[in-house]
Structure 1
Amino acid sequence: MLETISKKIAAAEPLDAAEALWCLTEGDLLAVGILADGVRRAMHPVGRVSFVVDRNVNYTNVCQSQCKFCAFYRNVEDPDAYLLETAVILQKIEELVAQGGTQLLMQGGLHPSLTIDYFEELFRTIKGRFPKLQNHSLSPAEITHVAELSGLTVREALLRLKGAGLDSVPGGGAEILVDSVRQEISPKKIGWQGWAAVMREAAALGLPTTATMMFGSRERPEDIVEHLFRIRDLQDAGGSFTAFIPWTYQPGNTELGGEGATGVEYLKVLALSRLVLRNVPHLQASWVTQGAKLAQVALSFGADDLGGTMLEENVVAAAGCQFRMSQQEMIELIRGAGFTPARRTTVYEILEEY
């Protein structure tokens, strides 16, 4: 099987589901990693690894979805539930811009009372104060929730958000795009078709997007493969995914509990992602969940990007996973792996090499 797969990869032919599943369940980690590294080098021959200077601003932790894998959410009546004041959000953005940041990632929860009007006013204020900052915000689940609360279609909500200053849509909330898994870990959240519908509409409106996968909770290897193929099909059908970001479930402080994925499992899934998703330009290594050392190894398993420096991150940290990395540490990590570090925009325009 490895020989067949190697020939298909060399000929840039797409893998089928059986071949992808073999790589995941039976393929040797290093053999699959070498194939993924070859694809990465073919797609990005310059030898550059990029990152973006950004901040995650979690505007609220109130969420009706109550996903079993999430340690961050709170109910409205909880004493530590919050909704950040606009002045606080603007101060956080001010700090980001002062450090050379170019990307704002705003995500929160499915708040029961925040309609489209709230986000339009907030986004207009942000764009007015920080016109050059990329507003890369709101997951498909949040957009769907806001649309329903406001009596709008997803398309109408996206049009209004784009008009108010939304520049691109992050792929959060994908978890595993298989409804049997979603029913077990996040039964109140939109199904996989709902997630895909938002991404189709965003692409149709000219909004760049990303795609993610959270694995290591309750899914089977077949579900991981199904997820990857659904992302590939969405992209083939006119998607606007600039990058794919697989990351591992963090079980600390969650209702779901369990063990999570190992580093070896992470590298195998990462490498398979590069082999399957040749139509998605970039693959991010998740230093936030894996730490700097494994993220550095990931650069030899198909990844060409380290995502954001994340001046602030609260969701993964709520599960007890609190890796931090400065911009200089990230630059040194990339150099140490034998690549050229480069600061980029959200849409992968290179701003500076180091």
Structure 2
Amino acid sequence: MLDTDHYARLGLGEIRDKVMAGHRLSYDDGLRLFACPDITAIGALAHHVRTRLHGDRTYYVVNRQVNYTNICVNGCLFCAFQRERGQQGAFALTPDEMVARVMDDGGVPFSEVHIVGGCHPDLPLEWFEDVIRRIHAARPSIVVKAFTAVEIAHFAKLAGIDTEEVLRRLKAAGLSQLPGGGAEIFAPDVRQRICPRKIDAEAWLRVAGEAHRLGIGTNCTMLFGHLESEADRVDHLCRLRAQQDETGGFTCFIPLPFLTENSLLKLPPERVGQHVGLDRLRTVAVSRLMLDNIAHIKAYWVMMGVKLAQVALHYGANDLDGTIVEEKIGHMAGSDAVQAMTIAQLEDMIRRSGFTPVRRDTHFNPVEEARA
């Protein structure tokens, strides 16, 4: 599948040689990968890198997601989750309700709680510090992965302090990791159209870098399949790679396909037709090939769907996320995936794809080898 002559005929001979030698691909290489008509050839290159890094291991985590509010001041065009205060469907959990969700593990204690929400106009930083402390008091061993860079910037604005001070205070309260949301697409013209009130790319990357320097790891994401071009995707990946070169704290990259069903952002037919699945697989593969300094690529089953996420494991992805338990953002956007997965379901999903399941913690340390 990695035949030299085949890649030469595709115009990818030099890229193949770079991949085999472990050399970095350029921006122009990324464009060529998106332009190549042979998606299986791109997938084979990405799978080679994935295998070199991880063998046949595929990771998952036993986690719970808590969305604390969908009341948000940003009003992003693509977002089906956001509501205004007083609008039908708006919600905001109390600290007691959040702790109750963390305590409700369904008999399978999870190692990580993933907390994200809208940028609520009234919730002060002290509210979030208190929630983290209460979660740790209730479950001392749990890892709190919470708040996107966008939320951190919002907390700072409301408190009248800088984002680094927000991160310091949340870390002192018990925050361990930031999720990677809010990056969307870095291209300024597209960003202005789909999320004009959200912090720009430079601010998002700055907050990520501040977190890394404070010892707070983060994930990173890219929302794709909306108004962006393939060149915008490659630029986004290159900027994440440059940030990783500088501060080194990105744990995992998650390509997030835009779900159109319940969004105000409507797309032309060619963006929602029969080739969407192939585009998602290609984007996973190109991400694996471009992001040579980020160890893990996630096929997020909630957004990709279970079957496509399984295929993505052969296109460069090595992680499926986790049990989740309750997720609102993707499902309100139109995801038809189930709300939760059991450990047995995740392990079966991985094995049926030809890989070995490895239960991990937030930092990708193996917790327990899957049962034979």
Cα root mean square deviation, aligned: 1.2
What letter matches 1:317 in structure 2?
A: H
* 1:44 paired residue number: 54
In 2: Cα distance, 1:145 partner to 1:98 partner: 35
* 1:151 paired residue number: 160
Structure 2 unaligned residues grouped into runs of 5+: 1-10
Q: Which runs of 4+ in 1 moved over 4 A?
A: none
Check conservation: 1:48, 1:304, Cα contact below 8 A: yes
Check conservation: 2:322, 2:346, Cα contact below 8 A: no
Taking a change above 3 Å as real, the CA distance of residues 97 and 120 of structure 1, as seen in their structure-2 partners, is: farther
Q: TM-score, normalised by structure 2?
A: 0.93
Q: Secondary structure of the residue that 1:62 maps to in structure 2?
A: coil
Q: TM-score, normalised by structure 1?
A: 0.97
What letter matches 2:336 in structure 1?
A: Q
Q: Secondary structure of the residue that 2:84 maps to in structure 1?
A: coil
Matches within 5 A, 1:306-317: 306-317=320-331
* 2:260 paired residue number: 251
What letter matches 2:350 in structure 1?
A: I
What per-residue deviation string (whole Å, max 9, x for no partner) do you get for residues 26-58 of structure 1?
Answer: 25100000000000111113x210101112111
In 2: Cα distance, 1:151 partner to 1:207 partner: 22
1:286 has 2:300 as partner? yes
* 1:347 paired residue number: 363
1:231 has 2:240 as partner? yes
Deviation of the 1:97 alpha carbon: 7.5
* 1:215 paired residue number: 224
Structure 1 unaligned residues grouped into runs of 5+: none
What fraction of aligned residue pairs are identical, expressed as a percent?
Answer: 40
Check conservation: 1:2, 1:27, Cα contact below 8 A: no
Comparing 201-210 and 287-296, the one that deviates more: 287-296
Q: Secondary structure of the residue that 2:104 maps to in structure 1?
A: helix
What per-residue deviation string (whole Å, max 9, x for no partner) do you get for residues 243-272 of structure 1?
Answer: 100020011221112255711000000000
In 1: Cα distance, 2:217 partner to 2:291 partner: 17
In 2: Cα distance, 1:97 partner to 1:165 partner: 24
Check conservation: 1:171, 1:211, Cα contact below 8 A: yes
Q: Secondary structure of the residue that 1:316 maps to in structure 2?
A: helix
What per-residue deviation string (whole Å, max 9, x for no partner) do you get for residues 71-121 of structure 1?
Answer: 011001213222101121111101137422111111111111111111111
Check conservation: 2:18, 2:25, Cα contact below 8 A: yes
Taking a change above 3 Å as real, the CA distance of residues 292 and 80 of structure 1, as seen in their structure-2 partners, is: closer
Comparing 307-316 and 260-269, the one that deviates more: 260-269
Taking a change above 3 Å as real, the CA distance of residues 160 and 98 of structure 1, as seen in their structure-2 partners, is: farther
Matches within 5 A, 1:269-308: 269-308=283-322
1:129 has 2:138 as partner? yes
In 2: Cα distance, 1:108 partner to 1:289 partner: 17
Q: Secondary structure of the residue that 2:367 maps to in structure 1?
A: strand
Check conservation: 2:305, 2:335, Cα contact below 8 A: no
In 2: Cα distance, 1:289 partner to 1:307 partner: 11
